[in-house]
Every structure is written in structure tokens, then in C-alpha cells.
Amino acid sequence: MISVVILGTGNLAQHLCQTFSKTDSIQLIQVYGRNQGNLQWFSSYTKLCSEPKDIANADVYLIAVSDQAIEKVSGHLLDKKGIVAHTSGATPMNVLSAENRGVFYPLQTFTKGKSVDFDSIPICLEAQNEEGLEVLQDLAQAISSNVYLINTEQRRQLHLAAVFTNNFTNYLYGIGEAICKRNKISFDLLKPLIQETSNKIMSLQPKEAQTGPARRGDEKSMNQHLSLMSDHTEQEIYRLLSEAIKTEYEKEL
């Protein structure tokens, strides 16, 4: 049995709490949060703690707070023997002051209330020492079939790739939704296209899967699209992405 304390009460903390609570080999013994209101959500799962001095002893401390707060919150755990790991893609392991430190980075997008299947989520691990790594491996393998050893530099690059493939793509969905809304069209019409776009790259390389006016070098359609937008940011994004796609494919035209 691995005992765990989660520090943080946000999106990831909620998902980890739910997953750990239904995993026999993991005992979630406490959740620490600075805000009593946000802590209450966890009360049906485990014990709560809002004072750093009351943080319980555990095998693993998972710091799931905002990236900027990781270093400060890790300062509450200096006297602990268990491994202290943060959960961030963009943060080096060495911001943690504990000697027994590591990283437990689940590569997925987590939003409160939107359930995910942890078993398929890649969990990227790093640890300062072999013993700590073994504990993190046991913890990760108890909830996921996709566990990887990824060092700080690789994780930084992976996080950058994730920002392009998830965060920027989602922002573009938002532009699509806004265009639909302005023209009284249901965004639902685009959902099968969104689904197929992500399905396609399971069997094709992104380069093969690309379609659209910029890939075809269709200047007439691109100019028409630009004239349909009055929002400067949308126009700039359209121009920049179209240019990048055109440059990539024009040798083939």
C-alpha cells in the first residue's frame, strides 16, 4: 500500500483524488489546501488539512498547485521522509528543495467535473534517486498502463509540444465557435469534423492529414476568408497559419 498526500485543490488534485480513491494499492491519507472552501470538495474522500504544520507523514507528497507556487509549497515538506514530487510539465525537478524529490507529470488536459480514464494517460516520471523512482513507478503503474521516464529537459520539450497540440488547437476551436455564433450557426455542425481531425492522426502523420486552401495554395479562398473577418487577432492568426502551411507544401504543388 502506498500512502499519498495531495497538495492543492484544483483541476488535477480532484482527478488524482478520485482515481487514487478507487485504487486498492493506494491510500490517499490527506489533501492539503490553503482555501477551506475549495478543500471541502475532498471531504468525502479523505482527511483535510489547511495548516502546513498538520501535513501528515506519507510515502509520496504530490504537489498539484499552480506552477508558480510549487517551490513555496514544497518548503512545507522539508522535514518529510517520503518523496516530494510536483506534477508540472514546465517546471524543473530542482525547484523542489527536498532531497528525496521527483516529478509525476500526467500528460493530459484536466478540468474539474470532466472525467478522464487514467489508465491510458501517459505519466512521465523523474526522480533524484533510485529509491524514490521505484515508489513513483509503483504509484504511477497502479493507475496507468503508460508510464515513462522523462528528464527535465525532455519534459520541457514535451510540454511545449502539448501546448501546440492541445492548448492552441483548443483556442482555434474557440475561434471557430465565435464565427459560428456571429453567424447564428450551431457549433455542433463542426463537431464531427473536429472528431475526425483527431481520429485521422491516429493512423496518418499530421503532414499527410493536412487539407484546406493553404495546403492547396488556393489564394482566392484565403483572400475571401480574410475579408470575412473584422477581428484583427483572428486575421493575424489566419495569415500566420496559412503562410506556415503554404510554405510547408508549396514545394509539392
Ligand X SMILES: NC(=O)c1ccc[n+]([C@@H]2O[C@H](COP(=O)([O-])OP(=O)(O)OC[C@H]3O[C@@H](n4cnc5c(N)ncnc54)[C@H](OP(=O)(O)O)[C@@H]3O)[C@@H](O)[C@H]2O)c1
Site residues, ligand X (CB under 6 A):
8-13, 33-35, 38, 64-67, 69, 72-73, 87-89, 106, 109-110
Whose Cβ is closer to ligand X: residue 64's or residue 222's? 64
Helix (H) or strand (E) holding 83: strand 83-86
Distance CA 142, CA 195 (A): 30
Distance CA 50, CA 5 (A): 12
Q: How deeply is 232 buried, as exposed, middle or buried, from its count of CB atoms within 10 A (0-12, 13-18, 19+)?
A: exposed
Q: Which residue is nearest to ligand X (CB)?
A: 10
Minimum distance, C-beta of residue 81 to ligand X, in the bound complex (Å): 22
Minimum distance, C-beta of residue 249 to ligand X, in the bound complex (Å): 32
> Cα torsion for 54, 57, 58, 64, to the nearest 10°?
30
Minimum distance, C-beta of residue 101 to ligand X, in the bound complex (Å): 14
Whose Cβ is closer to ligand X: residue 49's or residue 64's? 64
> Cell 499552480 sits at which residue?
66
Q: 21: which 3 cell numbers? A: 480513491
Whose Cβ is closer to ligand X: residue 35's or residue 230's? 35
Minimum distance, C-beta of residue 78 to ligand X, in the bound complex (Å): 15
Whose Cβ is closer to ligand X: residue 39's or residue 133's? 39
Residues in a beta bridge with 40: none
Minimum distance, C-beta of residue 73 to ligand X, in the bound complex (Å): 5
Q: 52: which 3 cell numbers? A: 502546513
Whose Cβ is closer to ligand X: residue 68's or residue 203's? 68
